[in-house]
Amino acid sequence: MARSLRFWLSLSFSAFVAMAMALVVAALLWVLIPRLNAEVEVRNRSLGNTVAGQVESFLADAQNVFENLAKDMAGQPPLPRDRMHLMLDTVANTDVHLEAVYLIDATDHVLEVGLPHERRGQREDLVDTDLSGRAFVQSARKSGHNVWSDTYLSQRGRIVVALAVPFTLPDRSGAVSSGMLVGEYGLEQISNLVQRIGQAGDVLPIIVDRSGQIVGHPDAGHSLRQENISHLPLLQGSGLTTPQTARFRFGEIDYIGSTTPISAQGWTVLVAQPLEKAYATVRSTLLAVAAASLLALTLALISAFWMSRRMSRRVADFGRHMQAIADGDYRAVIPRSGTDEIEALAQSMRRMAEAVLQREDRLQLAATVFESTAEGILITDAQRRIISVNPALVSITGYSADELVGQKPSVFSSATHGEDFYRSMWASIESTGFWRGEIWNRRKNGEIFPELLAITAVRDKHGAMTHYVGSFFDISERKRAEDELAQGKALFEAIFSSIPDAIVYANVKREVVSINPAFSSIFGFNIDDLTGKLTSFFYESEEEFERQGRIRFNLTATELTLPYIVNYRKKDGEIFPGETLGTSIRTASGTLLGHIGVIRDITERKAAQEQIQSLAFSDPLTELPNRRLLLDRLEQALTAVARHQREGALLFIDVDNFKTINDTLGHDQGDLLLKQVAQRLLSCVREGDTVARVGGDEFVVLLKDLSQNAQEAATQAEAVAKKIIATLNHPYQIGSSAQRSTASIGVTLFGGDQREGIDEPLRRADMAMYQAKAAGRNTLRFFDPQMQAVVTARADLEAGLHEALEKNQFLLHYQAQVTQQRQIIGVEALVRWNDPRRGIVPPAEFIQLAEETGLILPLGKWVLETACTQLARWATQPETAHLTMAVNVSARQFHQSDFVAQVLATLARTGANGNRLKLELTESLLVRNVEDVKAKMNALKSKGVGFALDDFGTGYSSLSYLKRLPLDQLKIDQGFVRDILIDPNDAAIAKMVIALADSMGLAVIAEGVETEAQRDFLDGLGCHAFQGYLFSPPLPLEEFKLFFSAGLTPW
């Protein structure tokens, strides 16, 4: 019996669903189990890598601590046992995991041991212990490298691992021996890490050492029992060195686990999951899939019945519409009914109907284009007879359509082209099916005209020619435009070649494309020299091009640039100035095509301009700037000082008694004198300053960029003026005789009053010059009374210093240096000037001037001599014999080549004990020529002289010179002591200085201590020597004797 379409569709669909469900279950089993294994492995390995990373970080940190300790001990001078014990104890108590730190000697006996506070009572039992039996110690001794031990139980029952670090250990004799540091680290941190991981998830993390012994386990008992699990397959063979994953049984439970090596120590991390928990997902997934499959099969049967019924209805409906299309109704609409094969067939029928309609529309469109296009079109048959022409062809040729149909295209022939032309054209059409080119044809009226002709062959499905289509475009207007362009080009070439100025054309990349003959004549280059070269090639330099050329050759508009001057380079290397015009070449739409530059050689014109400039702004006799140029530069200088807030100065110079010399020797000899004066003035100023001649024997010097401080600027101007006076005082060789002449100079500063004009500074300088003449000539005067007073005061102070040295007006004050028990251990000698007019002058007012003038040398020599004399006297008295004498030494004094000899001679002459003399140096002294400083210090050190570094931390403060120089003491500057109780920064610096001094074996003293709170704070930091008004101010010798005799009362 025949079955319906509905029956077979329902049966097929149900069978398909059942098979699909079975395949899904099989696929899940095939894919899920391997994937689950992979996920378990990835999770285990990820956790293993994390644990391994933390273990390696823990052990690496421990190794870094011991390596740094070994470097510190190797780099230190030989240390006493108590110092070594202190260093090891410090390290042992910085890390709670450290069980002990051993320092062993070359015989592997414990030389010193560092222990945590709670184990310090065991120190005596551990010193001199023999560790040569430890395998890892011997391994480190032989290899010379760091070696980790296997794990073992310490004396306190802790699981530990030991690290041996060999290094070179200096001894007291200066020799070195092979030492070693051994540190025992407790592994509680690793055990805690494993316990946290084991408690946080369903995993079993275990860490084992090289021998398979458990180092870390969630149950600490396994590690304390030192249980060995090397029998597990994962920990045999390569499992200890390469990652492995496998199943194993441990403690009556089946696991799947992965290993992760800890390469540096040879340990291994094992992370495992129970199989029952790992595969729980697979079981639950299979149960869910089975239930879903049963439900899906039931739904599939219901769906199959419904779908087959609906499909049979659609097939009948589709048949009715197909019949309508078959009857020619192409616009009949087949209704949409889904997305299955029936709908696909319906869509194909719709596309077919639409294609027929579109083809009819295209034919209509082609007919419209054929009739309306401006191009002439004709169509021939295979025998090349015209079968159709469009109206445009009728208009172009003058023939009617009836006249052309049935003719061949040769009716348009103008006899311009030969047979070869047509033979080649038709050969191309036959071979390629297409030809395009220009052709000259004839209109009906006989006119010959150019056309752009394109012929296309039309073939049938078998490749046979059926038609030819020709399109004609009249190009008469284009040809006329091309002729005009050719004429214009010829005219351009004529102009381009005849212009006497150099012309260069460059493309958008600034590469030279063309030059005219004048360019070759001016520059010496031909086009072959420049083709492809950048336009910067013929500039004086790349910098000159960047300054001028790049701006001009990147124009954004088509207008000409304003003329600008550029320095160019000829082929022979000669540099010349060129006046240049530039423009860009662009299309009508604005697209940049290139650049044109027109260059005119203006060498002669510029020389003439320079000559005119020289005559206008230079003095013809001396070739110095004249008054006009001076005023211009002065105006610029006034603007500059207002902007930069720096002072300037004018020096008005008048040659003394020039009229007498001029009248006596004649004007020619006077002119020679003025020329020499000009040259000498130029030699006295900087390159940026100006020397001008403003009158017969009058000159002006303009000084710019002086100090921002008016007093310092006045000092700088005075120095230049003095140099000029000294230079002009030298004899002048005038002809055969030597003449002498002096000058009077008026000095004024400008820049303080920004509103003054350019005439004001000149007027002031002129008035000051007349004051100098009134003062007797051959001198200088400042216009500003206040500045004059400053200069006079400085000169007076300098003269007073000279007089003080000659008349022995200096004296020493002594300030006590005391201990924390208020015992006076020494003094610092501080110079004072007892001036008859000024009274006692503190050093802050005259030491700097003494440095600048060089008077610090004799003054420093006197201070050293006086201090050593007093030191020798104190040595003869038992109560003062212990005192030391600190003397400040300036950098200029110390850097004398015979400084060492001076000090030794002074000690010998006065009889002072060098061991009681301490020279205080400043940080700035140490910056220059450290090796020379070191040699001098060592030479004096060998004679017992000590050295202190004064004001440490306020200047250069480099630790490098502290290490290299033989210092004895660091001095904490009073600037840090003053606010040490309220400024955390000052307190931190003081603490650092004290700690640094202690680590380097240097003494430390604090100056400027004025309160007991300051003293107590410094004492708490470890500074136990003090100097300051809390104890005593600097006192004259007699008052210091009374103070010393009275003694200090304890606080």
Q: What string of DSSP letters covers 532-580?
A: T-BGGGGBS-HHHIIIIIHHHTT-SSSSPPPPEEEEEE-TTS-EEEEEE
Same structural domain, 869 and 909: yes
pLDDT of 550: 52
- Residue 958's pLDDT band, with cuts at 50, 70 and 90, is low
Same structural domain, 845 and 961: yes
Among candidate residues 738, 766, 783, the one where a domain is terminated:
783
Cα 594 from Cα 495, distance rounded (Å): 19
Same structural domain, 565 and 514: yes
Among candidate residues 431, 446, 480, the one where a domain is terminated:
480
pLDDT of 1035: 95
* pLDDT higher than threshold 80 for residue 93: yes
Q: Which stretch of 663-667, 771-775, 934-938, 973-977 has the lowest confidence by average pLDDT? A: 663-667
Same structural domain, 639 and 769: yes
Domain assignment present for 527: yes
Alpha carbon 919 to its chain's center: 44
Give the residue among 768, 802, 800, 773 at the shortest CA–CA distance from 787.
Answer: 768
Q: Under 8 Å CB-to-CB from 531, ≥6 apart: which residues? A: 512, 513
Same structural domain, 564 and 445: no
CB atoms within 10 A of CB 1048: 16
Domain assignment present for 898: yes
Q: What is the pLDDT of residues 436-456, one digit of tens each?
A: 988 999 998 988 889 888 999
The angle that helices 658-665 and 667-683 make with each other, rounded to 10 degrees, is: 140
Beta strands across the sheet bearing 648-655? 690-693, 698-703, 648-655, 743-750, 780-782
- Residue 1044's pLDDT band, with cuts at 50, 70 and 90, is very high
Same structural domain, 848 and 995: yes
Q: Which stretch of 2-11, 112-121, 487-496, 595-604 has the lowest confidence by average pLDDT? A: 2-11
What is the percent of the chain where pLDDT is above 70? 83
Cα 613 from Cα 625, distance rounded (Å): 11
Task: Write the CATH number for 1015.
Answer: 3.20.20.450
Same structural domain, 1027 and 892: yes
* pLDDT higher than threshold 70 for residue 289: no
Which phi-psi region, left, alpha or beta, contains residue 414 (left: φ > 0; alpha: ψ -120 to 50)?
A: alpha
Cα 981 from Cα 791, distance rounded (Å): 42
Among candidate residues 607, 637, 663, the one where a domain is terminated:
607
Give the residue among 603, 584, 581, 595 at the shortest CA–CA distance from 523.
Answer: 603
pLDDT of 1037: 95
Task: Write the CATH number for 683.
Answer: 3.30.70.270
Q: What is the pLDDT of residues 609-633, one digit of tens each?
A: 777 776 778 888 998 999 999 999 9
Q: Which stretch of 148-157, 381-390, 627-636 has the lowest confidence by average pLDDT? A: 148-157
Domain assignment present for 821: yes
Q: What is the pLDDT of residues 989-1000, one digit of tens each?
A: 999 999 999 999
Q: Work out the angle at residue 824's Cα, subtended by the Cα atoms of residues 823 and 829, and round it to the nearest 5 degrees.
A: 165
* pLDDT higher than threshold 50 for residue 475: yes
Domain assignment present for 177: yes
Domain assignment present for 6: no
DSSP H helical ranges for 618-755: 627-644, 658-665, 667-683, 710-728
Mean pLDDT of 681-705: 93
Same structural domain, 660 and 727: yes
**Mean pLDDT taken over the chain:** 83
Same structural domain, 414 and 528: no
pLDDT of 1005: 96
Q: What string of DSSP letters covers 719-759?
A: HHHHHHHHHHTS-EEETTEEE---EEEEEEEESS-TT--TH
Domain assignment present for 395: yes
Mean pLDDT of 767-785: 87
pLDDT of 775: 86
Cα 1006 from Cα 1015, distance rounded (Å): 9
Pair of tokens at residue 336: 């949409």
Matching residue, tokens 């420093």: 860
- Residue 435's pLDDT band, with cuts at 50, 70 and 90, is very high
- Residue 175's pLDDT band, with cuts at 50, 70 and 90, is low
Mean pLDDT of 866-871: 97
- Residue 494's pLDDT band, with cuts at 50, 70 and 90, is confident
Which contacts (CB < 8 Å, 24+ apart) does range 755-758 have? 756/638, 758/631, 758/634, 758/635, 758/638
pLDDT of 566: 86
Same structural domain, 890 and 1021: yes
Which phi-psi region, left, alpha or beta, contains residue 951 (left: φ > 0; alpha: ψ -120 to 50)?
A: left
Cα 885 from Cα 918, distance rounded (Å): 6
Mean pLDDT of 635-650: 87
* pLDDT higher than threshold 90 for residue 207: no
Q: Under 8 Å CB-to-CB from 431, ≥6 apart: which residues? A: none
What is the percent of the chain where pLDDT is above 90? 29
Q: Which stretch of 122-126, 620-624, 1042-1046 has the lowest confidence by average pLDDT? A: 122-126
pLDDT of 1049: 42
Containing domain of residue 563, as a range? 501-607
Q: Are 1046 and 826 in contact (CB under 8 A)?
A: no
DSSP H helical ranges for 273-418: 275-278, 280-326, 341-372, 391-397, 401-404
Domain assignment present for 200: no
Mean pLDDT of 26-48: 71
pLDDT of 1050: 38
Cα 1040 from Cα 1030, distance rounded (Å): 15
Task: Write the CATH number for 126.
Answer: 3.30.450.20
Same structural domain, 721 and 867: no
How many domains, the chain?
A: 5
Mean pLDDT of 700-723: 92
Domain assignment present for 115: yes
Q: Under 8 Å CB-to-CB from 329, ≥6 apart: which residues? A: none
Q: Which helix (H) or strand (E) holds 608?
A: helix 603-617
* pLDDT higher than threshold 70 for residue 3: no
Hey, what's the torsion of the CAs at 791, 793, 797, 800, to 10 degrees?
Answer: 120
Same structural domain, 629 and 596: no
Q: Which amino acid is at 166?
A: P
Q: Are 448 and 438 in contact (CB under 8 A)?
A: no
pLDDT of 1047: 72
Q: Which helix (H) or strand (E) holds 63?
A: helix 5-75
